[in-house]
Amino acid sequence: MDKYIRRLIADIRESRTKIVPPDMAVWEFADVENEAEVEDLAYVQETIYGKPEPLSVITDIETGYLPVDDVLTPEQKSLLARELEALLNHYNFYADFPVNFPDEKKYKLLRAVWDSERVYVSFGRAEIIFCNFDIKTCPFIGYCDICEEMEKETREGPKADDTDISIEDILPL
């Protein structure tokens, strides 16, 4: 399996050398020096003009090339997860994992979305979100507490904090 993993990593790294030209229909009038405009146009490209394709097609790494989770060692999963994340970043996709989430656990989630359809954006970021903020299906239990906090807030209702403003605070005396 190690020989196969080395070959797969070589293919992944080769895919990272490819440059996809920007969609000029979206970008020809953009001021690429203006970061806010680039972000806005990336969003437009993704949501309006973009053509969804599986990540496997965009990256040219077929899902079948990625070994199933249970045949890999933890070290192999970690290595492949880091390589796949770098590959996704090359194509402006960013996987949303908690900071302390182990690489070996990332691999299974990345492989699971490899056939999901996404829109490649020339600039900016296209986020890959794994959590739907439901504690029953959260993939990050023990590494993130956002689902728990949201469930607690739903049960108890919103709590007042120092960002709440009363009408008395803004009316003239």
pLDDT at 152: 78
173: in domain:
no
Stronger pLDDT, 164 or 63, i.e. the higher one? 63
Structural domains of the chain, count: 2
C-alpha span between 94 and 27 (Å, rounded): 21
Judge if 82 and 148 occupy the same domain: no
Q: pTM of the full predicted structure?
A: 0.77
Judge if 25 and 58 occupy the same domain: yes
What SS3 string covers 134-146?
A: CCCCCCCECCECH
Chain segment 107-121, per-residue pLDDT in tens: 999 999 999 999 888
Q: Domain range for residue 71? A: 2-130
Judge if 47 and 77 occupy the same domain: yes
